[in-house]
Each structure stands twice: as C-alpha cells, then as structure tokens.
Amino acid sequence: MTGMRLALVAVVVALIAGACAIVPYTGRRQLSMVSASDELRQGEHLYAIARRRSRISHDTVTSNILQDVGRRIATVSGQPQWRWEFTLFDDDEQVNAWALPGGKVGIYTGILPVAKDEAGLASVIGHEVAHAIAHHGAERASQGQLVSILGMGLAVAAGSTTSGATSDLLMQAYGLGAHMGVMLPFGRAQESEADEIGLILMAKAGYDPHAAIGIWQRMSQLKGAQAAPPEFLSTHPSHGTRIRRIEATLPRALEFYEPGRVSNRKLPSLKQLRGGDAGEEALLDAVVKIDRLAAKSGSKETIATEIGRAFDIQPESVLRFSSQASLSPGEATLAFALLRSTKISPERLVDDLRRGSSWWGIIRQAGASPRRLAGDLERVSSRLAGQRPRAAR
C-alpha cells in the first residue's frame, strides 16, 4: 500500500509540474490540465447552445454599441486569433454576462441599467473577457480533476487503516473541506483577478476604469443583493470587498488609460429596447415549460413517447434526433413542430443548429408562425403534465 501511495504522489507531482501556465497581467502560475483545443471546442459548443436557446435582442442601437465596445476590448485582449462574437440576449430578468473560450461573449439586457453607459458596459465585458483570457474555466476544471485524484488516494489510504464508518467520515470531511476551503476561495480569487485584468483591458481600450466602481455600487443596491450569502460561503467577493479591491487596483489600470479616445454614449433604457414579438415570447415560454416538466419526469423514454405521439413519430427517432442535434426536450418538440409545419429538412435544421443559428432566425427564415408552433408545444406540455390537451383554435 505504501508503494501505491508513493505512486499516487508521483502522479500528482508530475501533473502539477507539467501543467503550469502563467496568467496574463497578474503573472500568477496556474494549473491547467485542459488542452487549448478542447477549451475552444467547448466554448464553441456552449455558445451555439446559448444562442439557440435564448431570445436574441433585435434592438440595433444597443447591439451596435455592444459590437463597438466589444471590438475595442477584443483588440487589446492579446487574442487576435480568436473568432470574437458579441451577442445581446433579450432577457431583462438576467442581470448577467459571460465570456467563453475562443471569444464568445453574451450580454443580457437585464445588466444594461447597471452598466448605464459605454464605460460601464466596457467594465462588464472587460471582466468577462478577463475570465476567458486567463483560462479560469479550464483552471477550475483542472483543479476539480486534481481534487478527485487526491480524493481517490485518500479513499485508498483510509480504507486500509480505518473502519468503514471512519473512512466514510473522512471522505465526507474531505469533500466538505475541499469545497469550503479550496473551491469557493479559489472562485473568489478568480473573480478578483478578473476584476484586475478587466480594469486594465477597459483602460487600454480607452474607457475610464473608474466606471467599474459605479457598477458594483449599483449592483449592491439591486433587489435581493442584501440577501446574498456571507462572503465565506460564496464564490464571489462581497460588493464591499470588490469595490475596495478595485479602488486599490485603479492606479495600475490608469497607467493604460488615455482620456478622450472614445465616446461614452448612454445605453437605452429597457423601455426603449425593441424586444421580440409576443409570439416569440410565448414560444420561448413553451420550450422552457416542457424542459421543466421533463426534468420532473426524469425519463427520456417517457418524454420521447409523448413527443412522438404528438407528431406521429417513433420514440426511437425522437431520441436519436435529439442526441444528434444536442436538443433539450423542449427544443426537440420545437424541432418536430417546425419540421411538420414547414418545408425545412431535418438535415438542414441540424446543420443550422450546429452552426449556432438561433431558433428565432431559423423560424423566420422558414416562414413559420411562432404562435402556431407555441400551440403545438403547449399540447405536448399538457400531455407531459397529465392534463387533457386544449382544443386547437
């Protein structure tokens, strides 16, 4: 058993020694056991899913501002080889944004009132892009792999020296300790690092980094912000901690800032945004409703059977098509409703979805009626809920 422990230690040391990288701007050494190609592939995959499952804003004014600010941040990111894309999602409830490996950035309309102007938007984008160029996602995945390897080693050691009950307690303590003592603080460290790098990126792009302070002051005033969990239980620093660290980092960021290089247009209010039509909203709600019902059911076969009955398709075909196109149950229902009501081919639909086309774009191009499709989805959700389907109007 001693030989096994030594072998485990040797493996862990070799992994750490051979998987170190340097974070740009901060110079921190990080563990990275995920290849660049795998990271980019995952980013492309998740971005395609996000675009087709979310409603994309049709507001050209705000979208154009997003493209301008995003392009400036991308130019100074140090990643010219990435295929940068910036998408504005029409969701006022989501006060959020994200960036994926390869330069795929999503901004939700709900964060626009917090951003207020171009500088605020640059602060949001800069922070999210910082996560991407610092490879924080790959780093957290690598840390999780390492925690799993160490956990297996502990299980082997504990199993040979303690009773089964004691071994279970040790494993539970190790899992709790790894989560509370490593993963959460590590998440806070990444957030602070992204704040620091984001300030530098927005400053290099021509935006005043002081705007970041206003972002977090307004975030702290949002409904529910005061009910956030204590900082030691969260992956994110508290708003107060964040503001203090940003203030401490400002002098370095200001070294990269040249005032007057860019404009600072105010962002349109949510009332001024031109959202999707009511049919699109009803359709999105119907997709989400089926996904929720499917999650409660927990049986892929049952769901496939109900979808198949609605469109006279074998359940095996439903499962195969859903797997081929990586569709959720709600999306699968929408796909078969679309195939039944238009001349689009299954092959063309799968190809469009894999290329990241949005459902709304596909529906418009196919000339389908969002309201009629929503009616088809409502009948499927009624079946899944065990209710009698409503009569078609």
Q: Catalogue the active-site residues.
A: 128
> CA-CA distance, 53 to 43, in Å (whole number)?
15
Name the β-bridge partners of 104. 85, 100
Q: What is the DSSP annotation of 52-95?
A: HHSPBP--HHHHHHHHHHHHHHHHTTT-TTS--EEEEE--TT--
Which uninterrupted H or E stretch holds 30? strand 29-31
3-class SS of residue 390: coil
First to last CA, the chain: 72
Encoded tokens for 271: 């009332």
Question: Any idea what DSSP says for residue 237?
Answer: -
Encoded tokens for 393: 């109007």
> CA-CA distance, 158 to 213, in Å (whole number)?
49
For residues 308 and 317, is the Cβ–Cβ distance under 8 A? yes
3-class SS of residue 87: strand
Cβ neighbours of 248 (radius 10 Å): 10
Residue with tokens 């009910």: 227
For residues 34 and 141, is the Cβ–Cβ distance under 8 A? yes
Radius of gyration of the chain (CA): 24
Residue among 86, 85, 95 at smallest CA distance from 63: 86
Question: Any idea what DSSP says for residue 235?
Answer: S
- With a CB cutoff of 8 Å and minimum separation 6, the contacts of 22 are 28, 29, 30
> CA-CA distance, 58 to 356, in Å (whole number)?
17
Our CA angle for 309, 310, 316, nearest 5°, is 45
